Each structure stands twice: as structure tokens, then as C-alpha cells.
């Protein structure tokens, strides 16, 4: 005679449900707690007095192009010739594609002066004279987390109808990390954005 309990266990085993439930339970109990990181609003270094330059109003493109490797919410480091290594359990509270442009515009505004830098679209009456586009080609630490490297290019275009060609700039910035912790890695990202803003404003 068939026993009902045995039949149920046999059916579950045949469907493969028992191992799935067991594995899921183990994964949930053993998973480390997630730690979240952000690019802080305050500059990581003492802010200097604004340097408005010629006083021209800039409009910064709403999007700063980032490599696909940065279009993730997990903190990552490079390894070997072409590998990327995610840091499990360490995530950005906001995607870098959103936080980097906002922090860059805010830093440029601090460096150039109030009312001289706006994120596109600039408010009416801003009298924009130049448009800034930025592309970040690399923003990654090495596997030993000793330093973080930022490589970027930018174009500053005159919008006043003249014949001035776009001003081109590029930066290769290396930021030493205080230690190998994910917190130091996240802080290094913020410092790199600040240093990039200094290069652009100073150029």
C-alpha cells in the first residue's frame, strides 16, 4: 500500500523542489549584510575661493558618459589585464551615472562661482555662453586598492555665434587610497570627481 507522506516526498524530489528550497534558505542565512556608499555632497578637500575666469555662464550636459563597467550598483576593482572584480555586499546607494554628473556640476559651481554653472537645461534668463560635455573613460581602482585612476575628456563649446572652436581638455588623475577598505574606495571616487572639476574649471 502506498503511504501518502512517501508519495509527497517522491513527488517533490521528482520536481526538484526540495533542493531548491533548501539552497535558498541557506543562501539567505549566510549572505553578508549589504553596506551602502555614496558620493558625499561636501567636497573632500577645503573649498577654495571661486575663480570665475571670464565670467561666462556654462551649461553642463545633463549626462556625463561613463563606461559600461560603471553602470552597476556594486563597487568594483580591476584585476589583471582585463578583469573586473565586484565586491560582494558593497553597493552604491545611487548609480554613478546619476551621482557623478550631479556632483561634478555642484563642484564646478563652487569653483567658478554662484550662477555661472548650470546643469542642462539651464533656467531661462541664465544667458548661457558655453556648453560643457564630459566623458569619463575610466574610474577604477587596482586590485590591491592602493590607488584609483580617473581618465576623462571634455569639450567646452562657445554658444555665442562666434567662430571660436570647441576647447578640448583631458585629464588622467590618480588618487591614492587611504587603505584597502571599500569605504576608502568610495571616498576615492568622490575625490577623483572633485579633482576632475578642478582641472576643468582651471582649464
Per DSSP bridges, beta strands 83-92 and 74-79 are antiparallel
Which grid cell sits at 165? 572652436
Quickly list DSSP for 1-29.
Answer: ---HHHHHHHHHHHHTHHHHHHHHHHHHH
Q: Tens digit of pLDDT for each residue in 117-176?
A: 999 999 998 999 999 999 999 999 988 899 999 999 999 999 887 667 889 999 999 999
Q: Which residue has the higher pLDDT, 92 or 9?
A: 92
pLDDT of 3 reads 52
Judged against a pLDDT cut of 60, whether residue 34 lies above it is answered with yes
Distance between CA 136 and CA 66 in Å, rounded? Answer: 5
Average pLDDT over residues 182-198: 97
Judged against a pLDDT cut of 70, whether residue 11 lies above it is answered with no
Q: Do 106 and 44 form a contact (C-beta atoms < 8 A)? A: no
CATH numbers and ranges of domains, the chain = 32-202 (3.40.50.10610)
Average pLDDT over residues 27-55: 86
Three-class SS state of 129: strand
Average pLDDT over residues 84-110: 95
Distance between CA 107 and CA 60 in Å, rounded? Answer: 12
Amino acid at each position: 500500500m502506498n503511504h501518502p507522506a512517501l508519495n509527497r516526498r517522491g513527488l517533490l524530489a521528482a520536481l526538484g523542489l526540495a533542493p531548491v528550497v533548501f539552497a535558498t534558505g541557506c543562501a539567505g542565512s549566510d549572505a553578508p549584510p549589504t553596506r551602502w556608499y555614496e558620493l558625499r555632497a561636501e567636497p573632500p578637500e577645503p573649498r577654495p575661493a571661486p575663480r570665475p575666469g571670464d565670467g561666462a555662464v556654462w551649461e553642463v550636459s545633463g549626462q556625463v558618459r561613463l563606461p559600461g563597467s560603471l553602470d552597476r550598483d556594486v563597487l568594483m576593482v580591476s584585476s589583471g589585464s582585463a578583469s573586473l572584480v565586484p565586491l560582494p555586499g558593497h553597493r552604491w546607494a545611487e548609480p554613478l551615472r546619476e551621482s557623478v554628473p550631479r556632483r561634478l556640476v555642484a563642484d564646478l559651481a563652487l569653483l567658478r562661482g554662484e550662477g555661472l554653472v548650470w546643469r542642462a537645461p539651464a533656467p531661462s534668463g541664465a544667458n548661457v555662453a558655453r556648453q560643457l560635455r564630459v566623458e569619463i573613460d575610466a574610474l577604477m581602482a587596482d586590485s590591491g586598492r592602493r590607488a584609483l585612476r580617473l581618465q576623462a575628456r571634455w569639450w567646452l563649446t562657445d554658444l555665442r555665434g562666434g567662430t571660436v572652436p570647441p576647447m578640448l581638455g583631458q585629464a588622467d588623475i590618480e588618487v591614492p587610497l587611504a587603505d584597502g577598505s571599500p569605504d576608502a574606495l568610495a571616498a576615492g571616487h568622490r575625490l577623483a570627481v572633485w579633482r576632475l572639476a578642478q582641472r576643468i574649471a582651471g582649464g
